[in-house]
Amino acid sequence: MDRKISYNWLKEYVKLNATVEEFAKEFSLCSQSVERVKKIQAHFSGVVTAKIIAIVKHPNADRLQLATVDTGKEKITVVCGAPNIAVGQIVPLAKVGAELIDPKVDDKFVLEKGVIRGVESAGMICAPDELGFWPEHNGILVLESDTPVGKDLADVLKLDDYLMDIEITTNRPDAGSLVGLAREAAAVFDVDNKIDLPKPNLKLKTEIPLSVEVKESKLCPRYQAVVMENIKVGPSPFWLQWRLSQAGIRPINNLVDITNYILLEFGQPMHVFDYDKLQGQKIVVRKAKAGEKILALDGKNYQLSADNLVIADAKDPVAVAGVMGGELSAVSAETKTIVFEAANFNPVSVRKTARALNLYSESSSLFEKNLSAEGTFVAILRAVELTQQLAGGQTASPIIDVYAQNYKPKKISFDPANIKRLLGVEIKIKQIKNILERLGFEVSGSNTLKITVPWYRANDVEYDHDIVEEVARIYGYHNLPVELPSSEIPVRAKNPILVWEDKIKDILVGAGLTETYNYSMVDKEMIEAANRPKTEVVKISNPLNSEIEFMRTDLEPQILQGVADNIKRFNQIEIFEVSNVYRLQKANDLPVEQSCLAGAVVDKMDDFLQVKGLVELLLDKLAITDYQFKELVKDNNYCSVQTALTVVIKNEVIGYFGLVNQKNASRFSFDRPVAIFSFVVEKLAKYASDLKPFVPIAEFPNAQRDLAIVIDAEVKWQMIVDAVKSVDPLVSEIKYLSTYVDKSLGEDKKSLAFRVTFQAERTLKSEEVDVVLEKIIKNLQTKLNAILR
């Protein structure tokens, strides 16, 4: 949680001489992180304090008044529409030429002389929002009665300050308050803090009855309450409203403001009820009954269930315990008698209730971080004290305290050797003690230390490690040495999948392909495109949106989408991805995560041969030699038998490639042929090798002959290869050169050019090569009806 903390306010509790920058730097290194520091100053100018000395009605407007104000030097009359002005008030007066804030646009404007409904106004009495204080425009800002008149408002209010944005870690709700931060600051800077116990007047003149019954002491370990009477509800003084608004809390009225102020000051959430609205002079802490509802302070109705802890009067729930109060028992302008609540609630219960109701507050956020039950005591005293100062009134009951068990301070016995073991440096016992004492721990003993944890740390400091942390952070992590570990390096085999993934990527990038990364999560359409059985598909139960609702079962659909996204802009597209796919094999188990490779090639021509060449290159670079290209047994989801091949090693299909079928071409609106390829990385890894065996270089020169033949168009290249190679052992290689098709060759004919290489363990004579060549030509004529061109 983030807290906005006034540096001046903090300094009321701890003696700090550091500048705010020094404070922020040092504090962040040893305690909680100061994220930002903002200078606070008046955004207005030309505003002075003035006293209202007379008010008359505006001659031409019912809702306006003419107020005469005295600045000590002059008396001027201004037009004012605020309902809360009264003679004797000291108010902020903006004179002509003053700079103010226009709350509608949150920007400055210069006040000009105005004529309002026929009456000239020589200035303006300002509302809080016009001075940039807090968003209130219903009335003018009324200053305290002892405010000097005729002074510059910014000077009188001592606005110059720094507001720090401090990120409080979740384990330290105790540090999320002024007092908590002051304790930390005192320890960090090794100075004293000035946290005084409130001293309210607790004498009872009259006693007003209130009974408190806690039915769920596990969920509410402590409930403190006090009744106060003769209360005057009204606005809080400027300083209180200002502090709340700086912390981002909107001022409401003095009583609600007091509870919020204590939340900021001590980190203890409080609540205030109108005593007269509680039925039966009773507070019961119980679970809600089925069917009960509450209208909360946010103006919404909440349906409660038996899992929700509530504060109830004799009849109905009046608050959701630790989360939010009810509207019907809230303090209003007419309230005369109140009940303050300072209680402690079970963190899990508060968290579950807030979640179930989808109702969150500062209070629930603090309680769910596990506050100490000891914290209610000082809070309720402070509430009485502040009420007596700001709203009049007297206590009308003793401080009621329903406390499930007596608090016993937590004690830890600590072996100082742990410090060296975890920090890597020795810290002297004396210094350890000093640091812990600065943090409020009590320490005794000299070898094994007996440490008493202060109540406000009882929920986060549990054992050795926590003590080490406390000592280390105040000692300063930045003061610890920087050392590379010198212990033995463990010997581990590399994960082969990771190794081959990288090699495959390098090969493909070397061949000119671009690597893509797609989300593992896909939408329904992509899942349909992959066409896997539903039982294999992993569905996310709380997707962010429908575009990322399922885990992909295959890479192909997103690869094809990637082609579709680029096909209008690029003539040539060569992309691939190496990523996991996710397929369920057992309904209630984790899916199998398999690393796969898929890619696509789009060129101007010969897409199939391009992708085939790519696959051949990949296999060659991976030193996979004993593979075969075989026809698909049947059409697969992306390709048809006629225009695709599988890659097979020892009867295992390790991948396929080919042209994208019509179904997918229309699904992804391709205007050109697209070729894809797909492999399982694990299977490539199984056959791949880093080593290629050495083959002796032929000792004798080879001989080469080029041939061009005309054959039927249906004759496949492989048939020519077979017909050539079978002729004689001297034929070592046959290399395809080109195909040529022309009407002049005859109907359904094509011309093929290729190069035959002859090799032997001796120097070949031209004549013997020619003899073999003749045999080849003859064989081609006989078997394939070929004609030499």
Partner 1 sequence: MKAKLESLKALFDAEIKKVSSPTDLDELEIKFLGRKAGELTAVLRGLKNLPEDQRKEIGNFANQLRGEIENAITEIRNQLSGSQKIDRFFDLTLPGTELPNGHLHLMTKAIREITEIFERIGFNRVRYPEVEWDWYAFEALNMPGDHPARDEWETFFIDDKEIGPKGKRLLTPHTSSGQVREMERKELPIRMTNISKCYRRQSDISHAPMFHQFEGLMIDTDVTIAHLKGVLDYFAKQFFGPNRTARIRPYHFQFTEPSFEVDISCGLCEGKGCRMCKSGWLEIGGAGMVHPNVLKAGKIDPKKYSGFAFGWGVERCYLMKPGLSIPDIRELYQSDLRFLKQF
Least distance (Å) between residue 498 CB and partner 1:
6
Q: What is the spatial distance between Cα 714 and Cα 531, in angstroms, rounded to a whole number? A: 34
- Residues 446 to 475 in contact with partner 1, rule: CB under 8 A: 463, 465-466, 468-469, 472-473
- Residues 167 to 186 in contact with partner 1, rule: CB under 8 A: 169-172
Task: Kindly list the distances between the CA atom of residue 638 and the CA atoms of 179, 433, 753, in Å, as whole numbers in the listed order.
Answer: 67, 72, 33
> Nearest Cα to 200, choosing from 424, 381, 406?
381
Residues ≥6 apart with Cβ < 8 Å to 356: 305, 307, 308
Least distance (Å) between residue 554 CB and partner 1:
16
Q: Which is nearer to partner 1, 20 or 131 (CB)?
A: 20
Q: What is the spatial distance between Cα 727 and Cα 705, in angstroms, rounded to a whole number? A: 15
Least distance (Å) between residue 775 CB and partner 1:
40
Least distance (Å) between residue 514 CB and partner 1:
4
Establish if 484 lies at the interface with partner 1 (CB under 8 A): yes
Establish if 84 lies at the interface with partner 1 (CB under 8 A): no
Q: Which is nearer to partner 1, 497 or 753 (CB)?
A: 497
Which residue matches tokens 């304790």?
183
> Which stretches of 531-600 are DSSP H helices?
556-566
Is the separation of the CB atoms in 13 and 174 below 8 Å? no
Establish if 359 lies at the interface with partner 1 (CB under 8 A): no
Spell out, one character per residue from 750 to 779, where the chain touches partner 1: x when CB under 8 A holds, - when not: ------------------------------
Least distance (Å) between residue 493 CB and partner 1:
8
Q: Which is nearer to partner 1, 177 or 751 (CB)?
A: 177
Out of 516, 553, 646, 751, point to the residue binding partner 1 (CB under 8 A). Answer: 516
Q: Which residues pair with 599 in a beta bridge?
A: 576, 677
Spell out, one character per residue from 678 to 707, where the chain touches partner 1: x when CB under 8 A holds, - when not: ------------------------------
Least distance (Å) between residue 739 CB and partner 1:
24
Out of 565, 616, 728, 768, point to the residue binding partner 1 (CB under 8 A). Answer: 565
- Residues 197 to 256 in contact with partner 1, rule: CB under 8 A: none
Establish if 602 lies at the interface with partner 1 (CB under 8 A): no
Out of 83, 512, 613, 746, point to the residue binding partner 1 (CB under 8 A). Answer: 512
Q: What is the spatial distance between Cα 36 and Cα 251, in angstroms, rounded to a whole number? A: 24
Establish if 356 lies at the interface with partner 1 (CB under 8 A): no
> Nearest Cα to 611, choosing from 596, 599, 595?
599
Q: What is the spatial distance between Cα 773 and Cα 779, in angstroms, rounded to a whole number? A: 10
Establish if 651 lies at the interface with partner 1 (CB under 8 A): no
| β 293-295/301-303 pair status | antiparallel
Task: Kindly list the distances between the CA atom of residue 270 and the CA atoms of 227, 382, 645, in Å, as whole numbers in the listed order.
Answer: 14, 11, 74
Q: Which is nearer to partner 1, 26 or 635 (CB)?
A: 26
Q: Which DSSP letter does residue 520 get? A: S
Is the separation of the CB atoms in 140 and 65 below 8 Å? no
Establish if 489 lies at the interface with partner 1 (CB under 8 A): yes
Which residue matches tokens 């105005």?
114
Neighbouring C-alpha atoms within 13 Å toward the C-beta of 54: 7
Burial of 643 (0-12, 13-18, 19+ CB in 10 A): middle
Least distance (Å) between residue 516 CB and partner 1:
4
Angle at 296 between CA 291 and CA 300, to 5 degrees: 85
> Can you say whether the dihedral through the CA atoms of 776, 777, 778, 783 is positive or negative?
positive
Q: Which range in 94-102, 519-527, 663-671, 730-738 contacts partner 1 by CB under 8 A?
A: 519-527
Tell me the one-letter amino acid at 388. Answer: Q
Is the separation of the CB atoms in 299 and 327 below 8 Å? yes
Query: What torsion, rounded to 10 degrees, do the Cα atoms 751, 752, 753, 759 define?
Result: -140
SS (H, E, C) 169-198: CCCCHHHCCHHHHHHHHHHHHCCCECCCCC
Task: Kindly list the distances between the CA atom of residue 668 and the CA atoms of 95, 513, 598, 674, in Å, as whole numbers in the listed order.
Answer: 69, 21, 17, 11
Q: Could you give the maximum distance between any two Cα atoms of the chain, in Å?
A: 134
Number of chain residues interacting with partner 1 (CB under 8 A): 92
Q: Which range in 26-34, 129-137, 648-656, 705-713 contacts partner 1 by CB under 8 A?
A: 26-34
Out of 6, 32, 49, 646, point to the residue binding partner 1 (CB under 8 A). Answer: 32
Out of 12, 152, 155, 593, point to the residue binding partner 1 (CB under 8 A). Answer: 593
Q: Which is nearer to partner 1, 258 or 504 (CB)?
A: 504
Q: Which range in 254-262, 565-573, 658-666, 737-745 contacts partner 1 by CB under 8 A?
A: 565-573
Q: Which range in 232-240, 247-255, 330-338, 543-551 contacts partner 1 by CB under 8 A?
A: 543-551
Establish if 424 lies at the interface with partner 1 (CB under 8 A): yes
Out of 3, 271, 351, 438, point to the residue binding partner 1 (CB under 8 A). Answer: 351
Q: Which is nearer to partner 1, 182 or 723 (CB)?
A: 182
Establish if 104 lies at the interface with partner 1 (CB under 8 A): no
Q: Which residues pair with 78 in a beta bridge?
A: 67
State the DSSP H helix or E strand holding residue 389, giving kind and residue range, or none if neither.
helix 376-390
Out of 323, 521, 526, 730, point to the residue binding partner 1 (CB under 8 A). Answer: 521
Establish if 477 lies at the interface with partner 1 (CB under 8 A): yes
Q: Mind giving me the DSSP string for 247-283? A: TT-----HHHHHHHHHHHHHS---EEEEGGGSGGGEE
Establish if 585 lies at the interface with partner 1 (CB under 8 A): no
Q: What is the spatial distance between Cα 86 and Cα 140, in angstroms, rounded to a whole number? A: 10
The packing angle between helices 178-189 and 20-30, to 10°, is 90
Out of 580, 594, 643, 779, point to the residue binding partner 1 (CB under 8 A). Answer: 580
Q: Which is nearer to partner 1, 115 or 544 (CB)?
A: 544
Q: Which range in 190-198, 262-270, 302-310, 538-546 contacts partner 1 by CB under 8 A?
A: 538-546
Q: Which range in 28-36, 77-85, 152-160, 288-296 contacts partner 1 by CB under 8 A?
A: 28-36
Q: Which is nearer to partner 1, 148 or 543 (CB)?
A: 543
Token representation of residue 12: 């009321």
Q: Which is nearer to partner 1, 118 or 512 (CB)?
A: 512
Out of 301, 541, 651, 766, point to the residue binding partner 1 (CB under 8 A). Answer: 541
